[in-house]
Structure 1
Amino acid sequence: MTTSETATSTWPVWGLEASLVVTDPARLGEARAIVDAVLADVDAACSRFRPDAELYGRSIRRGRPTRITPVLATLVDAALDAARASDGAVDPTIGRRLIALGYDRDFADVLADRASGLTAGPSVAVHEADHTMIRRHADTLTVPEGVLLDLGATAKAVAADLAADVIADEIGCGAMVNLGGDISARGQAPAGGWQILVQDLPVAGGSEPATQIGLVGDCAVATSSTLRRQWNHRGRTVHHIVDPSTGQPASGQWRTVTVVARRCVDANTLSTGAIVKGAAGQRWIESTGLPARLVAADGTVIGTGGWPRDAEMAA
């Protein structure tokens, strides 16, 4: 069953564009309030740019077992699940690696410094770490002293899933939550499905290849890209997708990867992990059978798992 009526809200959050589409226009305000509440909870739990964020409290930073809120527990567990599912390609212990690359403040401030000609990042002691060092039991979290978690690879996708779930449960209308390319849809879809344009930034010599897909049912889409969050660091251009095995930005086999799955956090794990894994990333995604679209460094587009043609249903 579908409906032709929808209402949309768009706004900036976390340095990206968020949007919400619902199939009952009269409930848009209520649905937007749910999304805002979820985003506020996630931000308070794990924003690396908030001095009062729960994840960076004194007890956790000192390596002590610390009781944490259900929201942070959900976010940490999702990050650890992603690390295990990707064999460590998507690992939350890269916080100090990102700081060492100059991503030590909100991305808008990083870009402002770039525009001002400031390119040198801070000097940071980086500890060798991986997800197996993190301990989660019941409502406690233990992070070794000196290890800084960064949940950015999964938290946005988790937030999209949580918001869409709550809207479906509490309001009952169809809803699609889009947080900068991490998209989660639940419930009744509009006529023709949820229409999603898959495209990244313009690049030298032309625009990033684009395609339109339509989704129905409970589904999600995640797009990971090396093009969007770039900055200058010590005379070179770097991006935010770090290979945990090297501590450096992932090499350029793929510039954009998009995956369709039931939950956004699963799609995001695959899309980000594929960029880190390089050529092996395509085989990894193909093994899941999920629809995916990979754009190589030279612009070549590869569809796997029955990736749909324009206007075709992907799920």
Structure 2
Amino acid sequence: MQYLDPGVPPVVNSFRAMATSVTVSICPELPAGNVDSSIAKVTRVFHETESACSRFNPNSDLSQLNQSPAHWHSVTPYCFKAIEEAFRAYVMTHGLFDPRVLSDLLALGYKESWTTGIPESRIENADQVRKPLPVWTPMFKGDNHILAGEFPLDLGGIGKGLALRWSGKEIASEHTNFLIEAGGDCVCSGDGPDHAGWNIGVQNPFQQDGDPSLVLRLSNSAVCTSSTAVRSWWQNGSLKHHIVDPETGKSGGKGLAAVTVVAEDPAEAEIWSKSLFLTGKDKIGEFSESSNICAAWVTDMGETSTNSLIRNHIIWMSP
């Protein structure tokens, strides 16, 4: 039988992966598990997911597949599972989540991994709206062969959530009370160091170094935020960001600056945070409520709102 040692503080370790900082907090249990081994497992999962699924790495499985997506490719398990999950998300959200937006991101100017902004650019015909994408019908064979379809893929909308899911499962058999946080998105197990839940601050997109927009208290849950705070830039005098509407190929989410979702699974939370963002300010409340999704959001005017489903998790919200 395992039990928490209330006199021992959490073991905390950080590393960088997926262009962000990843922090692992583990509350030790008795008999003590191998905390260092667990942190190493989390680190490995994040680095292997990034190595297989990053479009910014020319040697990744995804980059190789994107050179000829309409042909069969043999890929590693992480890439195979990620594309499988991306297709499941596409079906679940009725196309709101669609990874076939890589060409759109490139056209908008998001060509390299960055976190501090890129120079303003001017591109002819940048405001031209492309045709809607056809129905996505990828093909899977065995456990490592994929025919992705006509369009190249970007897995940035699901990769971090999957790394959180997979790394959490890696250490769940050894520890019951832990938090893995990656760039503001996280998965937690147990009730935290004070046995009252894990307190998680959600970044204010307009005051990244100031007070959060809200603070959540969670146990055995995940939370992910999609925001324009970091990955936004100017093109032809217009502000663009990386959350692309697959219907138009342009930056979406009219009237919104950030969307936060609480769910049992981090990949599902990430999928829905991006999908809800694309519904826009006028529809997100009704859509999230009717879809039974715990959500909060910040408008482009800095106003924080929530639906009724997330309120029991909130212990503080900015006025």
Coarse TM-score class (shorter-chain normalised): 0.7 to 0.9
Query: For 2:256, which of 254, 274, 281 is the aligned residue?
Result: 254
Letter in 1 for 2:276: A
- Correspondence for 1:93: 100
* Displaced runs of 4 or more, over 4 A: 1-4, 120-124, 206-209
The answer to whether 1:230 aligns with 2:237 is no
Query: For 1:144, which of 123, 128, 149 is the aligned residue?
Result: 149
Query: For 2:179, which of 176, 184, 187 is the aligned residue?
Result: 176
Q: Which has the higher helix share?
A: 1
The answer to whether 1:35 aligns with 2:42 is yes
Higher mean C-alpha displacement, 95-104 vs 59-68: 59-68
Over 3 Å counting, the alpha-carbon distance change for 1:291 and 1:128 in structure 2 is closer
In 2, Cα distance between equivalents of 1:203 and 1:188: 29
Over 3 Å counting, the alpha-carbon distance change for 1:97 and 1:306 in structure 2 is closer
- Correspondence for 2:197: 193
Higher mean C-alpha displacement, 58-67 vs 135-144: 58-67
Tell me the number of residue pairs that the alignment of Structure 1 and Structure 2 aligns. 303
Query: For 1:167, which of 168, 171, 196 is the aligned residue?
Result: 171
Query: For 2:288, which of 268, 276, 285 is the aligned residue?
Result: 285
Deviation at 1:174, TM superposition (A): 2.1
Query: For 1:17, which of 21, 25, 28 is the aligned residue?
Result: 21
Deviation at 1:135, TM superposition (A): 2.2
Query: For 1:76, which of 83, 89, 98 is the aligned residue?
Result: 83
Deviation at 1:187, TM superposition (A): 4.3
Deviation at 1:52, TM superposition (A): 0.6
SS in structure 2 at match of 1:50? coil
Query: For 2:57, which of 32, 50, 64 is the aligned residue?
Result: 50
SS in structure 2 at match of 1:223? strand
- TM, length-normalised to structure 2: 0.84
In 2, Cα distance between equivalents of 1:33 and 1:258: 28
Over 3 Å counting, the alpha-carbon distance change for 1:59 and 1:86 in structure 2 is closer
- Correspondence for 2:300: 297
Letter in 1 for 2:232: Q
Higher mean C-alpha displacement, 131-140 vs 82-91: 131-140
The answer to whether 1:106 aligns with 2:108 is no
Query: For 2:277, which of 275, 278, 282 is the aligned residue?
Result: 275
Give CA deviations for 1:104-149 in whole Å, capped at 9, x if unaligned.
11124x73x42xxx6246999x88635613222433211235x110
Give CA deviations for 1:226-272 in whole Å, capped at 9, x if unaligned.
22211222332211100011100014322111111100111112111
Unaligned ranges ≥5, structure 2: none
Letter in 2 for 1:82: A
Letter in 1 for 2:25: V
Higher mean C-alpha displacement, 23-32 vs 156-165: 23-32
Deviation at 1:287, TM superposition (A): 2.1
The answer to whether 1:132 aligns with 2:139 is no
Over 3 Å counting, the alpha-carbon distance change for 1:94 and 1:208 in structure 2 is farther
Give CA deviations for 1:142-168 in whole Å, capped at 9, x if unaligned.
1235x1100100111010111111011
SS in structure 1 at match of 2:36? helix
Give CA deviations for 1:25-75 in whole Å, capped at 9, x if unaligned.
974422221121111211121110111111222696152222322211211
Give CA deviations for 1:90-109 in whole Å, capped at 9, x if unaligned.
1010011101111111124x
SS in structure 2 at match of 1:49? coil
Aligned-CA RMSD value: 3.0
Give CA deviations for 1:277-299 in whole Å, capped at 9, x if unaligned.
11333222212434321222222
SS in structure 2 at match of 1:172? coil
Over 3 Å counting, the alpha-carbon distance change for 1:142 and 1:310 in structure 2 is closer
In 2, Cα distance between equivalents of 1:213 and 1:183: 12
Higher mean C-alpha displacement, 52-61 vs 226-235: 52-61
In 1, Cα distance between equivalents of 2:124 and 2:188: 40
